[in-house]
Structure formats: structure tokens, C-alpha cells
Amino acid sequence: MTWMIGGKRIGSALISRQRYLGDIVMATVVLDVLRRGDPGMRLGFLCENQYGAVLSGQDGLDDLHLLDLKRKGKDARARGPAEPYPIKSKHGQNGPNLHKGQGTAGMIKTLRACRYDLVVDLFFNPFSALLFRLTGIPHRIGGTPKWRRWLYTDTVCLTDPQVEETGLEQLAPGGLGEHLCRLAPLFHAETELPFLSWLDREWGTGNILPRLSPTTPRESTTKALRGVGVKNGRGFLLLAPGATWPSKEWPVERWRELIRLLLPKVSLPLVLLLPPNRPELWSVLAEDIPAGQGGALPVQPLPEALDVIGRSSGLVTVDGGTLHAGVGLGRPTLGLFGPTDPEIWFPYQGAGPFRVLAEAPHCHPCDLHECEEFICLPRLKAEKVASAILTMLSEMVPLAEPPDDHD
């Protein structure tokens, strides 16, 4: 089977989403769709070095390129220190070849040597637009109407007529469709269909979801879970309260109320996954969990955090990367939303054991990182969240079982 663009065969493609965790998870739909259309295609992915753990074991991915950038500014400070991905240059038989820790010049040299036929840039900021222009990759797809569109050979936006006239929004709503629409210039040779028509034929009324390959159990994760009373390394309800921005945080007092409501009703241990930025704000929640019924894990590096999520029986968290990782790993996931639009950033409800709760005051959605009024998330009551959790745990079946503990 063959993908084509401009009448030429595409034998290899690079997908790029530099950051962030949630966006990279959502970008896996592009990898899976391309692979389904051409199982023999060589696929690469480029992201920043600290996110390498997300796709390091991804099946169906041939090469993972990790870009080493020293970013500054408010955004970088809010997310905490960027830890490099600690792994050898080749993952092994069950994952892609790793090209890690490369700066801009080294990345350009590597990508030139890889001789990709196509790059699909899902970030398309000025840096990435120029980076891929310098690689000499002949076909470059971006998604911006701004000046840098001239650095791409094709640009596609959701508002383009060729996209709006299709059923993409129903098939892949929100951010998923935002990623997949970039593939509109492709043509599937065997079916003689343009990409969007091929996608509708292949999936029909089905759901396209992000997918992460199951995590490999880590001894360090098993030890950390034992420290909070999870003796067999699995079978617990995971609470991840932290967010990068204050406007996405459900207040501490609401989490405390939730824990008190859940303790007499949930037989599973309650485990807290603390964020790397400001963990002390949330560690106080462990005081409300009796010994033997769970507790707070130490701050986990990204590989271990993904392992924890993959072992859980269910996940409750706010809008952010942890939320998308839960969906990608097939865990029953409840998302608590504030200023952002769930239809865009939680396009999963009804497609699996995934639920979202959000209040919508007059100002919603605002997408603000900081808000003086901040009424959306505080209005979300603990009783409503507890009820949704109990329903999710009693009625929903996980998409995939957590990996066995081999420790």
C-alpha cells in the first residue's frame, strides 16, 4: 500500500510535535493512521528531549529524534526543570531507534542523512518551520496562515474548505482532527482516494483515539507503590492533582473533600501522583489518607510516571499531559476541566472509559493561565466528582489490562 503527495510516492515520513506531553500523546493518531494506510512505511517522530519517554517504546515507530533545546521564559519556569531522557541511543527490539540529545545543527545533519520524503509539522512555530526547511525534506506540511507558510510546500487548516466539507469533526473531534487534517494533501494509491475520503472509509463511525504502547514495569515504580501500600504493584485509583497553570488546578480543599468521600466507598488504595512543579502544594493531601489505604508517591520522572499511570485501575486528574497519557494507555480516566474547552482538549468522552466534568460560567472558555476571578474549577463540587468516579469504576471496562508486575 502506498501514500502519495503531488503524484510522488511517500516511502518515509517524519511527524513532529516538539512539545508538550498531552500534544505528543494526541499526535500518535497521525502515526497510527499513516501506518494503517501503508504498513511498510518508515515513520519517525521528533520532539524535545525531555519528552522522549512518551514514545520510547512505541510500536510502529521506526525512529525517535530528540531535540535538545534550552528554553527560557515563563512557560519553561512554570513547567519546572527539563530533565533529559536517560536512555541509550537504541531502545531495543520493542521500540524505535533513538537519536537523542541533538542540538539544532546536529538535528539538521541527522534528518538530512535520514532522507525522509515528508515531514508533517504539528507545531509549525517559526523555529520548526525554518528547521525543516533547512533539512531539505522535499515535502513539508504545516498548519499556519502566517508568513512562515512559505517555508512549507503545503499548509492545511481546519477551516480550509477541503476539510470543513468532510466528516472529520465527527470522526476525530477537537485536537485529534486538528492533527489529522494536516494529512489532507496525501492520496492513497491503492484505493484511489484522497486522504480525508480514505479516512472516512477506513474508520466510518468508529473512534480514532491516541494510543501509547503499554509501559514496561519498572522496579523503581514497584518499590514506590509498595511504599504507599500497593503491594502487588497494581490495583489502585490514581489521583493526579497538579497542573502547570493555577487556572487549571482544582483547589486543594476540593481534593481533600473528595478523598474523604471516596475512602469509605472505594476498596482500592488512593495513590497521589505529585507534579514536578510545586509538589509541596499537593503533598498535604496525603495527610487525609490513612496508613495502608494509599498515600503520596515521591515526584516521579516521566518514565516512572507513565508506568504508574499504566498500572492504575483508574485516573482522576485535571487538564494536562497526565490526562492524555491516561487515555493513551487505555486507563479509565476522569478529567476535571476549568478554563479550556473540553470539546477541543478532551475529545474522548463516549469513545471509551473516559469522562469529563466541567462547569461553564459566563466567561467560559477563556484559556487563561492565571485568572483573578477564577470561578470555574472551584464551582465543581467534590460530591459530583465522587459520583462520577464511582460510576466510572463500576461500569467502565479498561481498554487494556495494566501490565503484569514482573518484579
The pLDDT tens digits for 245-262 are 899 999 999 999 999 999
Of 31, 14, 2, 12, nearest in space to 208 by CA: 31
Which of residues 164 and 386 earns the better pLDDT score? 386
- pLDDT band at residue 79 under the 50/70/90 scheme: low
CATH number of 3-203: 3.40.50.2000
Least confident of 24-38, 199-213, 270-284: 199-213
**Mean pLDDT score, 236-243:** 96
- pLDDT band at residue 84 under the 50/70/90 scheme: low
* Distance from C-alpha of 258 to C-alpha of 4, rounded to nearest angstrom: 52
Residue 362 pLDDT exceeds 50: yes
- pLDDT band at residue 331 under the 50/70/90 scheme: very high
pLDDT in tens, 203-228: 876 789 999 998 888 999 999 999 99
Of 218, 262, 215, 216, nearest in space to 238 by CA: 262
**Mean pLDDT score, 187-194:** 96
Torsional class of 204: left (φ above 0), alpha (ψ -120 to 50), beta (otherwise): left
Contact between 377 and 255 under an 8 Å Cβ cutoff? The reply is no
Cα within 13 Å of Cα(32), Cβ side: 19
**Mean pLDDT score, 114-138:** 97
CATH 3.40.50.2000 positions along the chain are: 3-203, 219-395
Which of 3.30.70.920, 1.10.8.60, 3.40.50.2000, 3.40.50.300 is the CATH number of 219-395? 3.40.50.2000
Residue 39 pLDDT exceeds 80: yes
Quick check: bond before 152 cis, omega within 30? no
pLDDT of residue 219: 94
H helix intervals, 264-396: 279-283, 302-311, 321-328, 342-345, 382-395
Q: Can you give the pTM of this predicted structure?
A: 0.92
**Mean pLDDT score, 88-105:** 74
Q: Are strands 118-121 and 154-155 parallel, antiparallel or unpaired?
A: unpaired
Residue 306, phi then psi, degrees to nearest 5: -65, -35
* Distance from C-alpha of 90 to C-alpha of 83, rounded to nearest angstrom: 19
Work out the burial of residue 261: count CB atoms within 10 Å of its CB; fewer than 13 is exposed, 13-18 middle, 19 or more buried.
middle
pLDDT of residue 402: 46
Residue 156 pLDDT exceeds 80: yes
- Calculate the average pLDDT of the chain: 90
Least confident of 61-75, 114-128, 287-301: 61-75
Cα within 13 Å of Cα(183), Cβ side: 31
In percent, the amount of the chain with pLDDT more than 70 equals 91
**Mean pLDDT score, 284-295:** 95
DSSP 255: H
Residue 22 pLDDT exceeds 90: yes
**Mean pLDDT score, 229-246:** 92
